[in-house]
Amino acid sequence: MQRSQISNLGENVVPEIKFDPELCVTCETIDCLMKCQYVKFAGISDAKAEKSKINAGEESRVLNECLTCYACQEYCPYNNNPFYLLVERQEEKGILPAPKPIIEEQLRMMGPRGRITPQKVRSPVVNMCAFPMLAGCVRGKLFEGASVISGNDMFCNIMWLHFAKNSVIRERVPKMIDNIMSFYLTDSKIDEMVCFHDECYGTYTSVADAFGISVPFKPVHLFDYISGRLDELSDRIKPINTKVAYQRPCSNRLSPETDKMLDDIFRKIGAERVPRKYDRENALCCGGVPRAQQRDELADELVEKNISDMLSTGAKYCVFNCPFCMATLGQEVAEHGLMPILVSDLVLTALGE
């Protein structure tokens, strides 16, 4: 697990994903594939055969059928980065999870703009990633005194895992980290950054570790930050005493330990996280990414399953932490009578803001 392999691809030396094939050889459960909600296997031996093909860099149907939901990263009991490796293999083989022009266009759309200017920031620094339109979420006592940074020049770039583009992650993430440091944190002598999204936290912890990218600041998960603030603001909390259904996003699979922090948050604000069939380890994709893969009928099915599951719980709110999940499901959720809301906004409600 600790060794970092170097493979020689032509003239470019690309550090490979941190991964130990021996662990898979000795693995008896192949949870990474057996627990997959989307690709089906005849049995453990079938899964094992496919997994060894992936590991060896051979053709495997999994490379084509994968929904890119990140869940196998969480399922693997050895933290052996099965998903990152799978994406690596997809790219090596030129497998396109979505049509080429769609990937190319997104690559340009989300590319760095070079429009960043140095700015003095104060702690807590909240990174809104490429979603400046959500900067309004950072308000009230909860985020008192916070500096918000955002824009394409600090985009976490984790989305390329959905599009077989580990190379883009390797190329862009170090630049983004450099931007964050040199334009904001270094001069302000700050070494912590609150990640508003699971995506960013996953990038600067799990992805950075697996890809061998060094992160000079300490990423703080939003849940960690909120939970701490709630302790400080405990006298202001008016328990909301409401049932909430949580839509766990794919990127939380990269930091499963934070899901327990969310439980703490809900407990502190008096929200009851209703047991859902599709929550926690069994969380189901919101349906956004399959549409890029041109699998709209599957996406419709995922939306339908998520919604009917939520409705059966009697929850009043559908809580999101991922803005993309909220954009994908929010309208549908609202049409079915649940109120879509971001975790931070729900907490603000409990704080009377």
Residues forming the site for other proteins (CB under 8 A): 96, 98-102, 104-105, 108-109, 111, 288-289, 291-292, 294, 296-297, 300, 324, 327-328, 330-332
Is residue 125 within 8 A of residue 187, CB to CB? The reply is no
Least separation, in Å, of the C-beta of 110 and other proteins?
A: 8
Least separation, in Å, of the C-beta of 296 and other proteins?
A: 6
CA pair distance 56, 51, nearest whole angstrom: 9
Is residue 262 within 8 A of residue 223, CB to CB? The reply is yes
Long-range CB contacts (within 8 A, 24+) of 101-108:
102/292, 103/163, 103/165, 106/159, 106/163, 107/160, 107/165, 107/168
Please report where in the chains the tokens 């919101």 appear, as a residue.
Answer: 286
Least separation, in Å, of the C-beta of 58 and other proteins?
A: 21
Least separation, in Å, of the C-beta of 163 and other proteins?
A: 11
CB nearer other proteins, residue 102 or residue 237: 102
Least separation, in Å, of the C-beta of 36 and other proteins?
A: 22
Is residue 70 within 8 A of residue 83, CB to CB? The reply is yes
CB nearer other proteins, residue 101 or residue 275: 101
Least separation, in Å, of the C-beta of 292 and other proteins?
A: 4
CB nearer other proteins, residue 163 or residue 196: 163
CB nearer other proteins, residue 202 or residue 287: 287
CB nearer other proteins, residue 233 or residue 319: 319
CB nearer other proteins, residue 182 or residue 331: 331
Least separation, in Å, of the C-beta of 279 and other proteins?
A: 21
Least separation, in Å, of the C-beta of 76 and other proteins?
A: 28
CB nearer other proteins, residue 150 or residue 328: 328
Least separation, in Å, of the C-beta of 30 and other proteins?
A: 29
CB nearer other proteins, residue 15 or residue 111: 111
The full 3-state SS of the chain, as one line of letters, equals CCCCCEEEECCEEEECCCCCHHHHHHCCCCHHHHCCCCCCCCCHHHHHHHHHHHHHCCCCHHHHHCCCCCHHHHHCCCCCCHHHHHHHHHHHCCCCCCCHHHHHHHHHHCCCCCCCCCCCCCCCEEECCCCHHHHHHCCCHHHCCCEEECCHHHCCCHHHHHHCCHHHHHHHHHHHHHHHHHHHHHHHCCCEEEECCHHHHHHHHHHHHHHCCCCCCEEEEHHHHHHHHHHHCHHHCCCCCEEEEEECCHHHHHCCCHHHHHHHHHHHHCEEECCCCCCHHHCCCCCHHHHHCCCHHHHHHHHHHHHHHHHCCCCCEEEECCHHHHHHHHHHHHHCCCEEEEHHHHHHHHCCC
CB nearer other proteins, residue 90 or residue 227: 90
Least separation, in Å, of the C-beta of 181 and other proteins?
A: 26
Count the residues in the chain. Answer: 353
CB nearer other proteins, residue 19 or residue 320: 320
